[in-house]
Amino acid sequence: MDFFRRLGSIRLSHPTLSGIWYAFLWMMIGALILSLLLQSGSLEEHNLTWPIYIVHAAALLFGGLTSGKRAGQKGWYQGALTGMLYGLLVLCISFLALDNSPGLNDFTLLLPALLIGALGGMFGVNLHKKR
């Protein structure tokens, strides 16, 4: 029985990987909420730019928070690394899905991703339980 319990509870031990996992989880939750708001008619597609930025910022903040908490030290570094990898993955997915070439304007969005992730990492280190 213990085997099945361990098999069902997957724990990512690396702080950056767990931060990216939680960032994508929060992004999916935010995308679901935005989809439901679009479906209900209370939000229109041309007004969707800022809510998408807010969802990504919240996902980066929670991802950086998770990576900083798991690392226990150097939270700004782990959060910034999580933010940079999250930003690169989102850019790669968007370029593959939309089939257009990357521009300089797209890569300027990596700096805010790095900074928001680093901020989350700094807060996350303070949530780490001391042993």
- C-beta separation of 82 from 19 below 8 A: yes
User: Helix or strand or coil: residue 128?
Assistant: coil
* Residues of the chain scoring pLDDT < 50: none
Tokens for 13, please give them: 């031990």
Chain centroid to CA 85: how far? 9
Neighbouring C-alpha atoms within 13 Å toward the C-beta of 112? 11
Nearest to 18 by CA among 76, 74, 73, 86: 86
Q: What is the pLDDT of residue 106?
A: 81
